A = this chain, B = another copy of it.
Amino acid sequence: MWSKNEKSVARQAFDKAYERENKELVNNIKEMANTAKTSEDIWQLHDFLTEKRSEIDNKYNYRYSVLMFVFGRLVREGWVALDDLEGLSEDKIEKIKHIINM
């Protein structure tokens, strides 16, 4: 069960991670495009985006039943800091930490 406050903490951390990851994606694409010389480089950029799009679509799943797994992954990948999750119950934090180290 998620308290009202926990839901608010989770939502904020989730949205912040999404924003961070998208911002980095935009920057990565700008750099890839800037240094592209041939159409081969462009198809490589296309492959990268295809993969990234499906990764992001799959990863950012805001259902409470999977949210701790989502946060575990986001912390592991550096999109969420444990500090962002302050306000979640001890046992949720423990669970997330367990997932991080899985």
Question: Are the CB atoms of A50 and B42 closer together than 8 Å?
Answer: no
Question: Are the CB atoms of B26 and A45 closer together than 8 Å?
Answer: no
Interface of A is mostly: helix
Sorting the interface of chain A by its residue count into under 10, 10 to 19, 20 to 34 or 35 or more gives 20 to 34
Q: Which of B30, B49, B53 lies in contact with A34, CB distance below 8 A? A: B30
Question: Are the CB atoms of B38 and A26 closer together than 8 Å?
Answer: yes
Question: Are the CB atoms of A43 and B33 closer together than 8 Å?
Answer: no
Residue A98 CB within 8 A of the other chain: no
How far is B30's CA from A41's CA once the two chains are assembled, in angstroms? 11
Q: Which 8 A-B pairs have the closest CB atoms?
A: A33-B33, A22-B39, A46-B49, A30-B33, A29-B33, A29-B42, A26-B42, A26-B36
